[in-house]
């Protein structure tokens, strides 16, 4: 399985109470403020660098070695070695108690943003990098950027276009009510499961947090989480959680969510046995690959925005996947920086994964052309309050980046738990508000 940054947040936020790794307070102190400068002459850059990745699949099938070979055409004296970590967040946490955590690594969610300069070398100023790249504010500390994601990700519904068409649906639903009506039509007119929660896998349920910002096209949605009740009437998370509840309560999801299976859901969606799942752009290629292996049509896999319009337009949030960074202790910072720049700008990794490029002037991938045609507004969320949100979330024990509360929501909707939706969401809001007061927000 390919776990993207948002997936891994499920694992990572379990440890965010620490916010700074135990024993790490001094490891990077002497090197704090170091820069990884872009090389002037590729032919002179040398050294062996270790690149850490979560893409175990691409390391095992030789794809990463192919990227390295292409990189060597420009940087012939740099040897790139890959280490794929299966449980990245847990393993990197241990390694970062030492100075040896690769030359290039993915910034773990457990590291407090203000501590980035202790562990990573700067890639340049925010003003300079912001001209060329998206998402720079996610890793900016003190005016300097400490990480760069090679791809952008966007939440949305992965769906089987053929099934939706068979149900007589020819346009994207524009409201939650329309979406529910469409799922009802799919149930009535096809043999497909209208919606699949992937309850048993747990982590797919956390994708519902990323309706935040898309419902009301609000770039300040993260800031509002830090300043108010995320489940207040009309708020993005309340709208999203209510839709999930209604899907399950109306019998439009799989009969027994506890027996759902993530890996099986991919070929089943590709073949039309499942109509719809709320995931992200990162999943599109996985479902298309599953279609090819199952003898189904990969072009049947579509992607649609959350059913809400602001000013007549659909909106979708775009954010970074894992950000690559240079270890502040690396003896080969120039070579490490060369890899990050090349992998972001030249490797084609974004195109290979049908992902959104971090380059501001790059076109959307072909699979998202319907978004352009429909005039979907793409917004980048302001992440300046991201650390505060994590702190409140941890203190409240709500877990907006964890699966448990939405498992409880699904159980409530299917009758496995007693209570009302209003009381459930109100309880979350109370816990959040109390924690927000405790941490001074």
pLDDT in tens, 58-102: 999 999 999 999 999 999 999 999 999 988 988 999 999 999 999
5-150+323-361 with 155-317+363-441: one CATH topology?
A: yes
pLDDT at 110: 81
CA distances from 73 to 46, 63, 76, 77, 346 (A): 13, 16, 6, 9, 12
319 forms bridges with which residues in the sheet? 153
Q: In sequence order, what E strands does 85-194 have?
A: 104-106, 120-121, 124-125, 140-141, 144-145, 152-153, 155-160
Q: Which two tokens stand for residue 313?
A: 């337009």
Mean per-residue pLDDT over the chain, rounded:
91
> Which helix H or strand E contains 93, and what residues bound it?
helix 88-95
Q: Where are the domains of the chain?
A: 5-150+323-361, 155-317+363-441
The residue among 75, 72, 90 whose CA lies nearest residue 18 is: 90
Whether the predicted pLDDT of 7 surpasses 70: no
> pLDDT tens for residues 422-440?
999 999 999 999 999 998 7
For the chain, what is the largest distance between any 2 Cα atoms, rounded to a whole number of angstroms?
67
CA 11 to CA 5: how far, in whole Å?
10
Whether the predicted pLDDT of 24 surpasses 80: no
> pLDDT tens for residues 127-143?
999 999 999 989 999 99
Q: Are strands 319-320 and 377-379 parallel, antiparallel or unpaired?
A: unpaired
- The CATH architecture to which 155-317+363-441 belongs is 3-Layer(aba) Sandwich (3.40)
Decide if 83 contacts 102 (C-beta within 8 A).
Answer: yes
> Which helix H or strand E contains 52, and what residues bound it?
strand 47-53
CA 157 to CA 306: how far, in whole Å?
7
pLDDT at 64: 97
Q: Could you tell me which CATH class the domain 5-150+323-361 is placed in?
A: alpha beta
Give backbone dihedrals phi and psi of 168, rounded to 5 degrees, phi first.
Answer: 85, 15
Decide if 49 contacts 335 (C-beta within 8 A).
Answer: yes
CA contacts within 13 A on the Cβ side of 83: 17
Residue that wins the pLDDT comparison between 89 and 23: 89
């Amino acid at each position: 399985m390919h776990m993207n940054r948002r997936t891994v947040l499920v694992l990572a936020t379990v440890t965010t109470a620490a916010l700074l790794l135990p024993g790490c307070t001094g490891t990077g102190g002497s090197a704090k403020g170091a820069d990884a400068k872009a090389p002037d002459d590729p032919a002179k850059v040398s050294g062996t660098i270790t690149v850490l990745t979560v893409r175990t699949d691409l390391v095992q099938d030789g794809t990463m070695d192919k990227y390295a070979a292409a990189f060597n055409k420009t940087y012939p004296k740099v040897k790139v070695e890959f280490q794929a970590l299966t449980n990245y967040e847990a393993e990197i946490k241990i390694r970062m108690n030492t100075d040896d955590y690769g030359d290039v690594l993915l910034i773990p969610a457990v590291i407090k943003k203000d501590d980035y300069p202790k562990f990573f070398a700067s890639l340049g100023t925010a003003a300079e990098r912001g001209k060329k790249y998206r998402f720079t504010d996610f890793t900016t500390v003190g005016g300097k950027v400490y990480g760069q994601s090679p791809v952008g990700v966007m939440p949305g519904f992965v769906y089987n276009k053929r099934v939706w068409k068979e149900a007589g649906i020819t346009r994207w639903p524009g409201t939650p009510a329309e979406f529910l009506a469409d799922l009802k039509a799919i149930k009535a007119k096809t043999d497909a499961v209208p919606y699949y929660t992937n309850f048993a896998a747990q982590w797919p349920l956390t994708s519902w947090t990323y309706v935040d910002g898309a419902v009301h096209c609000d770039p300040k949605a993260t800031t509002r989480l830090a300043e108010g009740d995320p489940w207040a009437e009309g708020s993005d998370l309340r709208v999203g959680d209510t839709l999930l509840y209604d899907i399950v309560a109306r019998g439009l999801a799989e009969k027994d969510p506890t027996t759902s299976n993530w890996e099986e859901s991919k070929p089943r969606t590709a073949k039309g046995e499942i109509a719809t799942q709320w995931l992200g752009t990162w999943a599109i290629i996985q479902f298309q690959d599953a279609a090819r292996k199952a003898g189904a049509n990969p072009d049947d896999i579509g992607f649609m925005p959350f059913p809400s319009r602001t000013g007549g337009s659909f909106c979708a949030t775009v954010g970074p996947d894992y950000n690559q960074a240079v270890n502040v202790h690396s003896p080969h910072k120039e070579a490490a920086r060369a890899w990050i720049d090349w992998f972001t700008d030249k490797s084609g990794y974004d195109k290979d994964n049908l992902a959104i490029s971090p380059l501001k002037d790059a076109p959307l991938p072909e699979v998202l052309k319907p978004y352009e045609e429909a005039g979907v507004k793409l917004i980048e969320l302001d992440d300046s309050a991201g650390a505060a949100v994590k702190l409140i979330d941890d203190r409240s024990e709500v877990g907006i980046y964890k699966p448990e509360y939405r498992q409880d929501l699904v159980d409530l909707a299917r009758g496995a738990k007693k209570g009302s939706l209003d009381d459930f969401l109100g309880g979350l809001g109370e816990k959040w508000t109390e924690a927000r007061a405790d941490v001074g927000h």
